[in-house]
């Protein structure tokens, strides 16, 4: 008989909800924690998170609560899916409530404001005794909810944690792969948000397919160049959490970051675009942090510098794209074997 886990997800947005429902459908009891009592009541009564995933039926083994202590009581696996700006606050609040044996899994693709710390690093600082993992990949929540075949990556230095999370989440429509490069997988998920904004800009300007192909591959080179400076394995970026996530996020209007770039490319100001959004677009926060860290480390990132100039220095878009492309290094492949 398969082992049944007690699981909680902190964060009732679209991705936290869909991951929680995948766990419930695999036969595990799961609690979804969120702050909004009206939405909690709707989820428990109608079996639907109508604000983020209308029409998506939730399994009866999933229940929602606003009580943090109730949500994490006796859980052995805890997913954290809150926005990066509140990730430390929630991690600190939950630290005294969980066992040191509880496995912590970050679902958040972002970087902490005020520094350059990924979510797994915040978990390590706030709950140093707990085992940790991350989940990332080309995972648009709406498509998972619609039943489209999806692949994702769980990453931990511990093989047994990867195996446990595989069994917890894997299904015929949601395929789970493993990696030991937790930092590389997490960086891929965070950095691609920046380049999705660029892709949206390119789409708004009616760039040709040749240009889009160049933009995507140079983005991948730039991401991996930076990540290696922080200790990631460049080969990680050839997988789902790297090129897979980059491609999906840079080509789909479902991506919030892509939509920001597209709207700016059509003449809206960044302030106007952000005011119209009902969910956090992590790429905006990540851009500023990434540029600052790249400058500090001396990593050449012309695409990041160009996007920063467009969004924060009011540089003309066409001029900045010319600058970005002409200042790129002449090497095609950033890392070669042998």
* Residues designated as active site: 192
DSSP 180: S
CB atoms within 10 A of CB 311: 23
Residue 141 assigned as binding residue = yes
State the distance between the two ends of the chain, measured CA to CA, in whole angstroms: 48
Residue 304 assigned as binding residue = no
Q: How many residues does the chain have?
A: 338
Residue 167 assigned as binding residue = no
Residue 118, strand partner residues: 111
- Scanning the structure block, which residue is given the tokens 């790429």? 283
Which DSSP string do the residues of 27-87 spell out, in sequence order?
Answer: T-EEEEE-S-HHHHHHHHHHS--TTTSTT-PPPTTEEEES-HHHHHTT-SEEEE-S-HHHH
Q: How many helices (H) and strands (E) does the chain have?
A: 15, 8
Residue 283 assigned as binding residue = no
| 257, 281 contact by CB (below 8 A) | yes
Task: Tell me how far the alpha carbon of residue 4 is from its chain's centroid.
Answer: 27
Residue 257 assigned as binding residue = yes
Two tokens, residue 269: 């100001």
Residue 272 assigned as binding residue = no
Residue 259 assigned as binding residue = no
Residue 11 assigned as binding residue = yes
Residue 280 assigned as binding residue = yes
Residue 291 assigned as binding residue = no
Residue 188 assigned as binding residue = no
Residue 266 assigned as binding residue = no
Residue 256 assigned as binding residue = yes
Residue 299 burial (10 A CB sphere; 0-12, 13-18, 19+): middle
Annotated binding-site residues read 11-16, 35, 52, 109, 137, 141, 192, 245, 255-257, 280, 282
Task: Enumerate the known binding-site residues for sn-glycerol 3-phosphate.
Answer: 109, 137, 192, 245, 255-257
Binding-site positions for substrate? 109, 256-257
Residues making up the annotated binding site for NADPH are 14-15, 35, 52, 109, 141, 256, 280, 282
């Amino acid at each position: 008989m398969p082992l049944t886990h007690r699981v909680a997800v902190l964060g009732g947005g679209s991705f936290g909800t869909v991951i929680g429902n995948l766990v419930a459908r695999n036969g595990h009891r799961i609690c979804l924690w969120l702050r909004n009592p009206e939405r909690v009541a709707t989820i428990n009564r109608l079996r639907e998170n109508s604000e983020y995933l209308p029409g998506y039926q939730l399994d009866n083994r999933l229940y929602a609560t606003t009580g943090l202590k109730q949500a994490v009581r006796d859980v052995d696996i805890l997913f954290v899916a809150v926005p990066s700006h509140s990730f430390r606050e929630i991690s600190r609040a939950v630290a005294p409530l969980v066992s040191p044996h509880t496995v912590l899994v970050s679902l958040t693709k972002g970087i902490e404001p005020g520094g350059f710390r990924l979510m797994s690093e915040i978990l390590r600082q706030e709950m140093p005794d707990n085992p940790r993992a991350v989940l990332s990949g080309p995972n648009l929540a709406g498509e998972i909810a619609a039943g489209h075949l999806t692949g994702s990556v769980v990453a931990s230095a511990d093989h047994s944690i990867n195996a446990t999370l595989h069994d917890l989440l894997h299904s015929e429509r949601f395929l789970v792969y493993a990696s030991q490069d937790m930092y590389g997988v997490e960086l891929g998920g965070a950095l691609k948000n920046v380049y999705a904004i660029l892709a949206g800009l390119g789409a708004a300007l009616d760039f040709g397919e040749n240009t889009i192909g160049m933009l995507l591959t140079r983005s991948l080179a730039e991401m991996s160049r930076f990540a290696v400076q922080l200790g990631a394995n460049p080969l990680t970026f050839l997988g789902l959490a790297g090129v897979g996530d980059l491609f999906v996020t840079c080509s789909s209007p479902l991506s919030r970051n892509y939509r920001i770039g597209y709207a700016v490319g059509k003449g809206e100001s960044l302030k106007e675009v952000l005011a119209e959004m009902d969910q956090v677009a992590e790429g905006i926060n990540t851009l500023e942090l990434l540029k600052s860290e790249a400058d500090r480390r001396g990593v050449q990132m012309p695409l990041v510098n160009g996007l920063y100039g467009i969004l924060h220095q009011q540089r003309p878009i066409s001029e900045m794209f010319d600058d970005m492309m002409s200042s790129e290094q002449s090497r095609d492949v950033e890392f070669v074997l042998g």
